[in-house]
Amino acid sequence: MSEHIKEIDDQGFNHDVLQSDKPVLVDFWAPWCGPCKALGPLVEALSIQYNDQLDFTKFNIDDNPITPGKYGIKAIPTIAIFKDGRPMEMITGLTSRGKLEKAIKGAIEGAPAKQPFIVR
């Protein structure tokens, strides 16, 4: 894993994501997930490019089931971008660099959340 991506868990989610001063990209994944593995190099490349503007994290859903349930994550990979303690956008499934960059730039530039999110 890249030095620009931090592994987080249920216990650290509040501090590392919700209380972050910068927008945070959370890669919800599992070790057995083929599409998650395929998305990994793209997230790593983006973490190098946008490291000064966004924090990048990986969240193993197998080891930490509480947070994914709270945010309604039912499939992986799911990329969620949080800003000011709120989810701004969630992208589920293997996606393109362009779509991820658009979401990242939106969070950096202060775009409104793409859809309403229910926190349980």
Task: Cite the active site residues.
Answer: 33, 36
Residue 71, both tokens: 């945010």
- Give the list of residues 6+ apart from residue 38 with CB closer than 8 angstroms, or none: 94
